[in-house]
Homo-oligomer: A and B are copies of this chain.
Amino acid sequence: MTSNKMARSEETRRRIYEVALAAFREKGFEETTMRAIAAGAGVATGAAYYYYESKEAIVMAFYAEAWASMQEGLGAAAEAGKKTPLEARLTRYVEVKLEAFAPNRGVLRALLRNGADPASPVSPFGRETAPMREADMVWLAKMVADQGLPKDLGPHVPAVLWLYQMGIVMFWLIDESAGQERTRELLRVSAKAVTLLLQLSKLPLTRPIRRTAVELIEIVRGVA
């Protein structure tokens, strides 16, 4: 049987993954050595590279796994009934993410290193993460689908909200306050502000300033 061999292989991959993540959690990303990971998994150094392209790729694997595991929660948050106000849905959406990441907050900080450079595959803005980013935006689009947003701004709102939630997550990664209390506070207030702005954007009165906002968004997104 082929499955026997495949199963063994997958088991090795998994063992490397588990050992690595445990070490990252315990001693930090930088302080953990690929040699130590391999040794801990009972394989030679090179084996780790047979399964993972690089040290960061292991973190990437965690990111992908965490992302998959939170889909259900994100969907529930985004598609909560109409009784749930947008502010609550948005807040919940970010909370789901933070809860899924929480046990490995320190691990994810490793990705923050190249976080600013879209050229790096290991970046929230990079090519590697594009599918997840787009799936996120689909959820966010559903979240605001019933809000009757203006025609010019509407198409950009998912991307803007995606940037918003990524900002909160990054702040959370950096946040050194006890229990990341500051992030919770930031989320509470900023979610209120964001939804308020979205409501205001529907008023005809705000059209001029909205046009400027749209222009800015299009420049940043490279649509212009």
Please give the residue numbers on chain A whose beta carbons come within 8 Å of chain B beta carbons, in ascending order. Answer: 109, 112-118, 170-171, 174, 177, 182, 185-186, 189-190, 192-193, 196, 209, 212-213, 215-216, 219-220, 222, 224
Q: Report yes or no: B196 in contact with A212, Cβ–Cβ below 8 A.
A: yes
* Chain B neighbourhood of A219, CB < 8 A: 182, 185-186, 189
* Chain B neighbourhood of A185, CB < 8 A: 219, 224
Alpha-carbon separation in the docked complex, A109 to B120 (Å): 12
Q: Report yes or no: B196 in contact with A209, Cβ–Cβ below 8 A.
A: yes
Q: Report yes or no: B213 in contact with A193, Cβ–Cβ below 8 A.
A: yes
Alpha-carbon separation in the docked complex, A222 to B220 (Å): 28
Report A62 CB to chain B, min CB distance, Å. Answer: 19
Contact residue among B112, B115, B170, B212 (Cβ-Cβ distance under 8 Å from A189): B212
User: Are A186 and B220 also in contact (CB < 8 A) when A192-B212, A196-B209 are?
Assistant: yes
Q: Report yes or no: A212 in contact with B224, Cβ–Cβ below 8 A.
A: no
Q: Report yes or no: B186 in contact with A212, Cβ–Cβ below 8 A.
A: no
| 25 chain-A/chain-B pairs, Cβ below 8 angstroms | A109-B117, A112-B117, A113-B114, A115-B116, A116-B116, A116-B170, A116-B174, A117-B174, A118-B174, A171-B220, A177-B222, A182-B219, A182-B224, A185-B224, A186-B216, A186-B219, A186-B220, A189-B212, A189-B215, A189-B219, A190-B216, A192-B212, A193-B213, A193-B216, A196-B209
Which DSSP category, helix, strand, loop or mixed, fits chain A's interface? helix
Chain B minimum-CB-distance residue to A184: B219
Q: Report yes or no: B212 in contact with A193, Cβ–Cβ below 8 A.
A: yes
Alpha-carbon separation in the docked complex, A215 to B222 (Å): 31
Report A219 CB to chain B, min CB distance, Å. Answer: 5
* Chain B neighbourhood of A209, CB < 8 A: 196
* Chain B neighbourhood of A215, CB < 8 A: 189
* Chain B neighbourhood of A186, CB < 8 A: 216, 219-220
Alpha-carbon separation in the docked complex, A213 to B192 (Å): 11
* Chain B neighbourhood of A189, CB < 8 A: 212, 215-216, 219
* Chain B neighbourhood of A117, CB < 8 A: 109, 112-113, 174
